[in-house]
Structure 1
Amino acid sequence: MSNSAKSMSEPGPCQYHSKNEMRNALCLQLQRLPSEINSLSSFNSLLPAEIKAAIFYKAMQLPCPLNDGDSKGERLPVITPFFLGKICQDWRDLVWSSPLLWSNIHLALTRRRCKAQANLLRDWLSRTASCPLSFCLTSGEELRAWYYNPPVEILTMFVSVSERWKQAEFCIPPNDSFAAEISLPLLTTATVAFDPGYAEGHHIKLFSTAPQLSALHFYHPWLVGILAPWHQLQEFTSENSSVDEIRGFLHKASNIIRCSFRHIKCSTRTFNSSGSLVMVDQPLVLNRLEYIELWFGASVNMASTRILE
């Protein structure tokens, strides 16, 4: 082969340089490709902040320890802002800047950690801005354990934001902080576990000013001592109430649609006007009633038949 033919077939310096540039450019593209793919599929890059916050909020809806659980009766886990903030920096930035995501509060009181819990609650509430609140306040110990040292600071903080309560679930320790009348303009649903030894004989005015309240669920209540807008309730549950208490409730709850009474006490009780439960002889008028459950915890006697007379 002649020298002229060899010079035409072999690449020159310019061709080598061009190929190196192409190879380097291709390597850079390959290196950037994973991050570009991730950015295209990124939750944070595809959705506006308001929609992302709404998705997180839905995931953080409170389970109800008094009512809910899985098929084995075990309590469901609670997703908190702290859990979401551990996933990645983008999620952490979103959670820390979204008051809505702090508007669900779940606090299980313990005497050993009560002071630390009060500090945490104060900081938590400061992140909620003016959002309506859904909260679950339970006790890791028997309610009677709080007789001599009630969690006044924590109860007072919840009461101080009562105008923002939307959904509330709580136990009432032996203290009057949750007994007095407070303003509840947004409250729609409440679930309350009373201490049996404390409830009877104490008058609870907590729900007396709640214009949007439509559902109440009580455990161990003294119904006679509770002041509430019974006429506007559409859903009601009560455990451990007497026949007379139930009948008295049904006379006041003229718009009730669904109600359940469990572990009914068959004994009848008469209270004076200051107490005050007196059997009403007029027939019940429940035009909107669609469902009623009556579950007697003990043997049924003649008094039991008086509920629906």
Structure 2
Amino acid sequence: MPANHLELEALGREVLQRVDSGDPRADLAELDSVIARVEDLLASLLRGRAPLKMKLNQLDSPILNLLPPEIISLIFTFCIPDFRDYDPETFVKEDPPIPFLLGAICRSWRSIAWSTPMLWSSLSLHLSNQNFGVLVDLMKEWLCRSGELPLSVRLSCDPMSGDHSDAIHRTGKRHISQMIRIISDSYSHRLHALDLRIPVTFFEGFHMLQSNSILESLFIDPPDGQSDSEHTLNLESTPRLRHLHLSSVYLQCVQIQWTNVTHVHASAFYADECLEILRLAPQLVW
């Protein structure tokens, strides 16, 4: 048995033998002092476990021992769900995002996941009554880790009603507008897919000014539809846009480049708007 352990046991027995000195206050103070020393020692021992466990993980991990980080990084990318497979009913209830799950395994996995841009090239944010400031920081860090890869970005929220509507339009308006500015100003040239399921009042914040835009897929479905034609989504410079999903919005309020659009899904549209789509999209096949 280690000497420190023997000394600790002897000290404990000695203290317990003399705690009945007739002065309970003094006895309690002495006992508390010994307990504090024991707790400090225990805390020190517990801190020493972490680096030992990390070494054991590295020694025992078949993945880390047999495969180089580049291969592990590639394997991680196969865990990414398809950006198109999105169910708004279950998204908020699902497990944390894949990069966070991988990074929670151990420090080595986290290092590999954090430096694999492909894991961060798809971002889905659901805006609710949570801390909007945290979501802004999360989005910044997430997109920064995506390197220079094409991006798929989704912003969604629940239907606007009652307290939730107040949270979005009052508490969250400034932060949501900040998110939109970040995407438009810093990442619009890398947007490959954009999915907007947010109120139309935020449409004006988006812009696609670069003529070299690589946007190929656009999904628009505001949670409460569009009651007026005041708010316009101006994405006129989208030469590569192929796939378009429009639901419960006025056609005239979505300004895009129709030249190469081949697939359109239009829901809750007027008949004249459907005919206008046929006129606007010369390459339409579906």
Regarding TM over 0.5, the answer is yes
Could you tell me which runs of 5 or more consecutive residues in structure 2 were left unpaired when the two chains were aligned: 1-55
Kept in 2, the 8 Å contact 1:155–1:177? The answer is no
Kept in 1, the 8 Å contact 2:248–2:269? The answer is yes
Correspondence list, 1:244-263, <5 A: 244-258=272-286
Q: Find the aligned partners of 2:193 and 2:75 in 1 and give their Cα distance.
A: 19
Q: 2:138 aligns with which of 111, 120, 129?
A: 120
Kept in 2, the 8 Å contact 1:182–1:209? The answer is yes
**What SS does the corresponding residue of 2:282 show, helix, strand or coil?**
coil
Amino acid at match of 2:155: L
Kept in 1, the 8 Å contact 2:58–2:64? The answer is no
Are residues 166 and 35 of structure 1, via their aligned partners in 2, closer, same or farther at CA, if it must alter by over 3 Å? closer
Are residues 103 and 179 of structure 1, via their aligned partners in 2, closer, same or farther at CA, if it must alter by over 3 Å? closer
CA deviation vs aligned residue, 1:195-215 (integer Å, no higher than 9, x gap): 423563433212x11122110
Kept in 2, the 8 Å contact 1:221–1:238? The answer is no
Amino acid at match of 2:229: E
Kept in 2, the 8 Å contact 1:62–1:136? The answer is no
Q: Does 1:237 align with 2:255?
A: no
What is residue 100 of structure 1 aligned with on the other side? 118
Q: 2:77 aligns with which of 54, 57, 62?
A: 57
**1:178, CA displacement in angstroms?**
3.7
What is residue 202 of structure 2 aligned with on the other side? 175
Q: Find the aligned partners of 2:106 and 2:57 in 1 and give their Cα distance.
A: 15
Q: 2:231 aligns with which of 199, 202, 208?
A: 202
Q: Does 1:156 align with 2:184?
A: no
Q: Find the aligned partners of 1:56 and 1:199 in 2 and give their Cα distance.
A: 45
Q: Find the aligned partners of 1:126 and 1:35 in 2 and give their Cα distance.
A: 29
Q: TM-score, normalised by structure 1?
A: 0.61
CA deviation vs aligned residue, 1:8-44 (integer Å, no higher than 9, x gap): xxxxxxxxxxxxxxxxxxxxxxxxxx999966xx334
Kept in 1, the 8 Å contact 2:184–2:206? The answer is no
Amino acid at match of 2:192: K
Are residues 112 and 86 of structure 1, via their aligned partners in 2, closer, same or farther at CA, if it must alter by over 3 Å? closer
Q: 1:130 aligns with which of 131, 148, 152?
A: 148
Q: Find the aligned partners of 2:63 and 2:141 in 1 and give their Cα distance.
A: 28
Q: Find the aligned partners of 2:278 and 2:66 in 1 and give their Cα distance.
A: 52
Task: Let me know the Cα RMSD of the aligned residues.
Answer: 3.1
Q: 1:222 aligns with which of 250, 253, 263?
A: 250
Are residues 228 and 36 of structure 1, via their aligned partners in 2, closer, same or farther at CA, if it must alter by over 3 Å? closer
- Rg larger for: 1
Q: Does 1:82 align with 2:100?
A: yes
Kept in 2, the 8 Å contact 1:204–1:225? The answer is yes
**1:47, CA displacement in angstroms?**
4.2
Q: Find the aligned partners of 1:35 and 1:152 in 2 and give their Cα distance.
A: 43
Aligned length: 218
**1:221, CA displacement in angstroms?**
1.7
Q: 1:193 aligns with which of 214, 221, 226?
A: 221
CA deviation vs aligned residue, 1:183-228 (integer Å, no higher than 9, x gap): 361211121213423563433212x111221101122121123221
**What SS does the corresponding residue of 2:269 show, helix, strand or coil?**
coil
